[in-house]
Amino acid sequence: MIIRKKRGNFLEDFRVGQLFRHKVGKTVTEGLFNAFTEFGMTTNPLSKNLRYAQRYGYRGLVAPPGLVMNIVFSQSVEDISENARANLEYRDMRFGAPVYVGDTIEVDTTIVGVQPSSRDPDRGVVHVQTTGRNQNGEVVLTLQRKVQIWKDNLDAKVETAELPEIPTIPCSLWLSPYEAGRQYKELAHLTNADTYFEDFNIGDILEHSRGRTVTTAHMEWTAMLDNTSQVHSNQYLIDQNPRKYIGGQLIVYGGIPFNFCLGLSCPDVGDNALGDVCYITGRHTGPVFVGDTVFAATEITGKRDYPGRPDLGIVATILRGHKFVRKGEAWEKLEIFYLERESAIKKNSHYA
């Protein structure tokens, strides 16, 4: 007997209010931590320098936000988006407890809404709330996202539905308390001197100087995260119907350019951050394929004091990623990523 197994859900399989407690979980190993910190070009010493992290009151190296996001997101893929066409939008992505090597993250997802397409009967959009917790039950990240998902049975009837209220998940960034006796200024030379709260001016646009070319290693990074979406790893599937899939080739998992853009901005924006507080909204505005080179720019959109922390401020930014596509003899700039971001940034007055 041959039994053809099916993994992943299609549009008609989702019901509003469903709770998925995703299988497996993910322990953060030194290998995973190092791979994603290095390939993402993170420069914040909290993720690179143990002496620095401990001086700031953390018990170990702190996983950068891009790694935390990728772990939580990818644990949900088999149940939510293995059969997706595209990830459309991130919303209200909030960070909580710090993540260290040795922590184990387990994830659950609630289906918030389902909407069949009125134009394309073979697909629709699923709205979800996904939350990751560590081994102590502390929330490390919670987010909403909207995903465009294929139908398996084109004749299946799918009704538009949504929860009357999105679940409230308490989650706020954990910060080590400020202690003057820790002599933070002794280590000020380990970060860029122009990335403190006082250095940012509303309206400035910082064009980050580095780029990052995507290679076939994107498949290894995607697999390391347990992301099982077939459009990132199964060329045979795409070859059966290239017109159905974006670009007719393997598309790079969105968490890779997401992480690249965070890393490319880090020397200019995130070097003196103690953490990212929230990503208000974000989306992939263009596809990324092997051979593309990712660049990034950051617009400073707001500044305010961090409540209860005179040593910190919150800097609001828009992070945009782009690539260049050849058009005849010229190169055309194409936006690929958009993220509204708020970060907790140290003040020069207290740390430098």
> Distance between CA 163 and CA 165 in Å, rounded?
5
Q: Is the dihedral of CA 49, 54, 56, 59 positive or negative?
A: positive
Q: Could you report the per-residue pLDDT of 6-23, keeping only the tens digit for each?
A: 789 999 999 999 999 999
> Distance between CA 6 and CA 99 in Å, rounded?
33
Residue 79: half-sphere exposure toward Cβ, Cα within 13 Å = 21
The answer on pLDDT for 5 being more than 80 is no
The full set of domain ranges for the chain reads: 11-351
By C-alpha distance, which of 106, 109, 101 is closest to 137? 106
Residue in this structure with the two tokens 């019901």, named with its chain if needed: 15
Mean pLDDT value of segment 120-137: 97
Indicate the SS3 state at residue 150. Answer: strand
The answer on pLDDT for 294 being more than 90 is yes
Q: Hey, what amino acid is at 307?
A: P
**11-351 architecture in CATH?**
Roll (3.10)
Q: Could you report the per-residue pLDDT of 226-270, keeping only the tens digit for each?
A: 998 888 889 998 899 988 888 889 999 999 999 999 999 999 999
User: Which residues, in sequence order, are CB contacts of 19 under 8 Å at separation 6+?
Assistant: 108, 109, 110, 111
> Distance between CA 132 and CA 25 in Å, rounded?
9
| Residues 126/113, Cβ–Cβ less than 8 Å | yes
CA angle 32, 35, 37 (to 5 degrees): 100
Q: What's the pLDDT score for residue 244?
A: 86
Mean pLDDT value of segment 210-221: 92
Q: Is the dihedral of CA 294, 299, 301, 307 positive or negative?
A: positive
| Residues 165/155, Cβ–Cβ less than 8 Å | no
What's the pTM value of the predicted model, to 2 decimals?
A: 0.94
Beta bridge partners, 327, equal 330
